[in-house]
Amino acid sequence: MEITRCSAGFLVIGSGVAGLSAAIEASRYEEVLLITKKNLKDSATQHAQGGIAVPLGKRDSSDLHFQDTIKAGAGLCNPAAVRTLVKDGPQEIFRLIEWGAQFDKKGSSYDLGREAAHSRSRVIHASGDATGQEVERTLLEKLSTIKNCQVQENIFLLDFIVSDGKCSHVLAYDEKAKNILVIEAKAVLLASGGMGQIYGITTNPEISTGDGIASAYRCGAELTDLEFVQFHPTALYLENQQIGKPLFLISEALRGEGAILRNSSGYAFMADYDKRKELAPRDVVTRAIFREMEKTGCSFVYLDISPIENFAGRFPNIRERCKKSGIKLSKKMIPVELAAHYMMGGVKTDLWGHTSIPGLFAAGEVACTGVQGANRLASNSLLEGLVFGTRMAQAAKKYIKNSGKPKSKIKVSYAVQNPERLKKLDKKLMEIRASLQSVMWSRVGIIRSEASLTEALEDIRTLKGALEKIVEVPVIYTPYLELRNMIEVSELIAGAALQRTESRGSHFRSDFPKENDKVWKRHILISK
């Protein structure tokens, strides 16, 4: 296998909202190389339905948006990061609009939706429930006009190379050319997305295998808040759903428009759990649904859409998907289930995307900026990607002015094996992957305990040993590389969850069901 060397001013990894925002901003200063795992459009961004939280209403303000975000974060948000988000957010949205983004309006004003834990209607949306697609379209069209940004698709991130204490090179694999790439960069901007595929039931696309988090950990970068994984309360339930296949998201905006959660007997149960009912924070709604499914022995609940006026016009994509899936909307009931959705933790950064490794920056779901705390406020994720993707590019510009030329001798420590031999391992790799997803869902999921987490760590380490037994040294083979990263991230998450002996936000311990501010109003930091 050939080794190809190339260089870039800025190297951006990932083509979601954070990566695209970073690449566009960075191109103002120097040449950019953007690499992405599959194709440019294949990211979690396009699946975002609900919208973007931004205080544009007459009775709204950045202060109220700040307060709602802090409250949802259960005491672990970084106030300075949240203030940055709500202050810079509107200008990022106006820039999107300037670039051609079309958000829904009522007359001359933007149609602002309401979602859980928001004190005001402040969520802008596009084509009813296709906000992520519109954001992605706008950013990609803008990127296409930029001459000094080169894009390479189907590039798998292998490792970050640190020399003289700085991230100077990236090791990657070109899946089409079958080459190993050694990319020298003045600054590396990581925006590779999340890790939802470690769970068997998830809304995340199949590419979300935690590659960025695992690679950052291996190079010594500091990680934080990994125990806080958000589970979405309403993913479309289908019988015989294949494990690991992403579930279609039923936007929280439906509950904002008045949809009611009912158990399999038709009982509207949310009032039994929280006075805010369907508009309680996601972690509260998720655990309420979990308890109802336990009580009824049913693997789903219903979302009653009868209170929503003009459902077909407001949520055309959801309507179409339900129709294709054979769900009769004449009954006004959509079956929904719980699914892993978003990682609040990740690679620890400051307000400008600096990680603990000079030269390596991070933004988006792979990063932990401090905005989300222990529980992400609905519709803050796209906004965070826009704001902090731009900011990390600006910080990288300042960094490269003062950074010297890195060393160029790079050792490639991956074995190259016969592809046909590796394909014979597919069945075993798939078995280990499915076992891992099952362990994470059942033991490191919505309700956790010392017993479940201890068992999970034992099982994860057994699976890690099984993988090492069939692949003795790291090899260039995508199914193996993804699984290695998934196991690494899973072990880190389970370990952090075992360490936090309290319940806070999305992290709920049945053996420690209450918050413990005295001991745990702090962050767990992890580094290799």
The secondary element (H helix, E strand) that includes residue 437 is: helix 426-443
Positive or negative, the Cα torsion across 322, 325, 327, 328? positive
AA identity, residue 114: R
What pLDDT sits at residue 11? 98
Place of tokens 């696309």: 205
Contact between residue 103 and residue 125 where contact means Cβ atoms under 8 Å apart = yes
- The tokens describing 506, both together, are 């999305």
Residues 59 and 89 in one domain: yes
Does residue 518 belong to any structural domain of this protein?
no
Residues 154 and 276 in one domain: no
Count, residues in the chain: 528
What span, in angstroms and rounded, lies between the C-alpha atoms of 37 and 15?
A: 9
Contact between residue 473 and residue 415 where contact means Cβ atoms under 8 Å apart = yes
Q: Residue 191 phi/psi, 5° resolution?
A: -145, 55
What pLDDT sits at residue 48? 77
Place of tokens 């079958």: 178
Three-class SS state of 35: strand
Closest by alpha carbon to 511, among 519, 500, 521?
A: 500
Domain hosting residue 467, numbered range:
419-512
CATH number at residue 497: 1.20.58.100
What pLDDT sits at residue 392? 98
- The tokens describing 193, both together, are 């997305």
Residues 31 and 155 in one domain: yes
Strands 367-368 and 333-343, how do they pair? unpaired
Does residue 412 belong to any structural domain of this protein?
no
Residues 157 and 138 in one domain: yes
Does residue 305 belong to any structural domain of this protein?
yes
Contact between residue 78 and residue 159 where contact means Cβ atoms under 8 Å apart = no
Contact between residue 35 and residue 22 where contact means Cβ atoms under 8 Å apart = no
Residues 169 and 48 in one domain: yes
Q: Which residues of the chain have pLDDT under 70?
A: 404-409, 417, 419
- The tokens describing 123, both together, are 């969520």
Three-class SS state of 458: helix
Residues 390 and 359 in one domain: yes
Which of 282, 443, 448, 484 is catalytic? The answer is 282
What span, in angstroms and rounded, lies between the C-alpha atoms of 235 and 231?
A: 10
What span, in angstroms and rounded, lies between the C-alpha atoms of 292 and 324?
A: 28
Could you tell me the CA-to-CA distances from 191 to 45, 95, 384, 412 in Å, in that order?
Answer: 12, 20, 12, 23
Residues 208 and 273 in one domain: no
Residues 175 and 291 in one domain: no
Q: Residue 490 phi/psi, 5° resolution?
A: -60, -40
CATH number at residue 219: 3.50.50.60
Does residue 387 belong to any structural domain of this protein?
yes
Q: What is the pTM of this model?
A: 0.95
Residues 147 and 29 in one domain: yes
Place of tokens 């999970």: 456
The secondary element (H helix, E strand) that includes residue 159 is: strand 155-163
Does residue 524 belong to any structural domain of this protein?
no
* DSSP bridge partners of 397: none
Residues 213 and 308 in one domain: no
Residues 178 and 97 in one domain: yes
3-state secondary structure 473-497: CCECCHHHHHHHHHHHHHHHHHHHH
What span, in angstroms and rounded, lies between the C-alpha atoms of 381 and 252?
A: 14
Does residue 521 belong to any structural domain of this protein?
no
The secondary element (H helix, E strand) that includes residue 341 is: strand 333-343
Residues 442 and 481 in one domain: yes
CATH number at residue 334: 3.90.700.10
Give catalytic status of residue 321 as yes or no. no
